């Protein structure tokens, strides 16, 4: 399972870090579903760079190392808390995004679907033509509803399918690698416990201590060094 530390290696700011999104004023409103329905421009303003600038980021050493482990038949799948789609960009084929993803957007009114690329194109076109009168551009459906990313907002349920598949993976894993997460955000943080309960081993690679360190078969602080070692397998 992977968390923010894997993405910060690629230069993507951690939402919860000192430079992160959650330090912006009114940050708690950005990913709140009630606020989104009241005023979707709060989200689109707050995430213009972070989410709709993701096109310019490329996979880092951990993404590449996990793709390599899959290629040599040693990795069944990835449960990620990240919403940056970099595992898919690296070519990993079984990625379960437990906090959702902006890969698809849906209209809040009629349910119409658009891809991340389509939404980016709408944003770029609006900006090229001078926006919508100086305000923040909100991509809207033909029906008038706002498009919302399939990122799980506060006030929404976690994506059931992705979480169920992640639990299955954790339960049958001989080894679960916990990479770049401090295991503080539940329920995703409960996944390693499932592995431990079934007698599997958990290795934790994170720059900060985690609540499960004492149960881990090994803990390491340096993700980049760990990725390098995996790539050499």
Under the rule (CB under 5 A), what is the footprint of Zn ion? Answer: 107, 109-110, 112, 141, 143, 145
- Report, in Å, the least distance between residue 139 CB and Zn ion: 11
Residue 147 or 163 having the CB closest to Zn ion: 147
- Residue 85 CA to residue 90 CA, distance in Å, equals 9
Out of 63, 87, 99, 105, which one is annotated catalytic?
A: 99
- 106 part of the active site: no
CB 210 within 8 Å of CB 202: no
Compare residues 15 and 43 and give the one whose CB is closer to Zn ion.
Answer: 43
**Dist CA 51 CA 82 (whole Å):** 11
How far apart (Å, rounded) are the C-alpha atoms in residues 145 and 139? 9
Q: Closest approach of Cβ 113 to Zn ion, in Å? A: 10
Least Å distance, CB 146 to Zn ion, is 9
Output 141 or 205, the one with its CB closest to Zn ion: 141
Nearest Cα to Cα of residue 102 among 91, 115, 88: 115
Give the shortest CB-155-to-Zn ion separation in angstroms.
Answer: 21
Plot region of 228 (φ>0 → left; ψ -120 to 50 → alpha; else → beta): alpha
Q: Please identify, using beta-carbon distances, which residue of 110 and 229 lies nearer to Zn ion.
A: 110
Residue 140 C-beta: closest distance to Zn ion, Å: 8
Please, which residue, 141 or 230, has the CB nearer to Zn ion?
A: 141
Phi then psi dihedrals of residue 229, to 5 deg: -65, -40
Q: Which residues are catalytic?
A: 99
């Amino acid at each position: 399972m992977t968390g923010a530390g894997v993405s910060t290696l690629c230069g993507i700011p951690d939402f919860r870090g000192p430079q992160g999104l959650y330090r912006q004023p009114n940050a708690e409103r950005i990913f709140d579903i009630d606020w989104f329905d009241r005023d979707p421009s709060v989200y689109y303003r707050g995430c213009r760079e972070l989410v709709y600038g993701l096109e310019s980021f490329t996979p880092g050493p951990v993404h590449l190392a996990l793709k390599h482990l899959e290629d040599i038949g040693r990795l069944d799948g990835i449960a990620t808390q990240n919403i940056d789609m970099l595992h898919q960009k690296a070519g990993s084929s079984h990625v379960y995004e437990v906090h959702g993803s902006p890969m698809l957007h849906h209209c809040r009114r009629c349910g119409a679907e658009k891809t991340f690329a389509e939404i980016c194109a709408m944003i770029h076109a609006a900006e090229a033509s001078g926006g919508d009168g100086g305000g923040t551009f909100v991509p809207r459906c033909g029906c008038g509803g706002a498009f919302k990313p399939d990122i799980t907002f506060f006030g929404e349920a976690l994506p059931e399918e992705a979480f169920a598949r992640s639990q299955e993976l954790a339960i049958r894993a001989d080894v679960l690698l916990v990479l770049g997460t401090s295991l503080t955000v539940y329920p995703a943080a409960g996944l390693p416990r499932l592995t431990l309960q079934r007698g599997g081993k958990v290795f934790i690679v994170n720059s900060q201590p985690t609540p499960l360190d004492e149960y881990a078969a090994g803990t390491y602080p340096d993700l980049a060094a760990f990725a390098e070692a995996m790539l050499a397998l």
